[in-house]
Structure 1
């Protein structure tokens, strides 16, 4: 059976495409053509009434990171608000999480996976 091999792109609307692309490259290291490290990708539709991300947004991107603490430090040094909720979001099974928003208000979840296999 043929199947998808991975995410080939993420496309979304922006008021200022050049400025937003520059923000992603500057603060997260994501260029227009980005070769990402191999690893797990979670593909999960959420209930329409979820409060996991803002109700006025149809999606939230989750980015795997290798050093969440260092990235949080870099983002805060650039005056980017970072939200963490260790008691609520983090677990030894899945890893650690933080949330930011890009300049157009799109939610971004940063995920440092736990070492070892993911549940499921």
Structure 2
């Protein structure tokens, strides 16, 4: 069974999110949108688009997506979220009970041995 197939997103929590977004925009050229991040579109290396994106976002310290005491969370793409969650539980991993299913795909979470919240994302069909 395939497990992680790529990075779906990187989420930062910042003390001063607008200032940090501005720094990344000015110095690294990241096209930060009004919602606080951007979606990098994938291509085949020749510049031809292929299905897939990697989201990059900076939020305020009050963001509940990134747990207290942590400054980031990585979202990993997976092919079959429910099967992977079942396997992780069988392996004794700290898997959160909540699973979200929305128009953006299926989301589940596991806590790694260092206490980092890891988001697992099964994109909607065709993405």
Bin the TM-score by the shorter chain: 0.5 to 0.7
- TM-score, normalisation: structure 1: 0.58
Structure 2: gaps (5+ residues):
1-6, 11-50
Deviations 1:69-105 (A, max 9, x none): 111111011111212434xx320x2001111111111
- The size of the alignment, in residue pairs, is 79
Deviations 1:12-48 (A, max 9, x none): xxxxxxxxxxxxxxxxxxxxxxxxxx73211111222
Distance, in Å, in 2 between the alignment partners of 1:49 and 1:109 is 18
Matched, 1:51 2:69: no
CA contact (8 A) 2:94 2:112 kept: no
Point out the structure with the larger strand share: 2
1:22 maps to which residue? Answer: none
Distance, in Å, in 1 between the alignment partners of 2:84 and 2:60 is 30
1:23 maps to which residue? Answer: none
RMSD: 2.1
Q: Among 58, 81, 84, which residue is 2:94 paired with?
A: 81
Q: More relative contact order in 1 or in 2 (CA 8 Å, sep 6+)?
A: 2
Misfit runs of 4+, over 3 Å: none
Matched, 1:40 2:50: no
CA contact (8 A) 1:84 1:97 kept: no
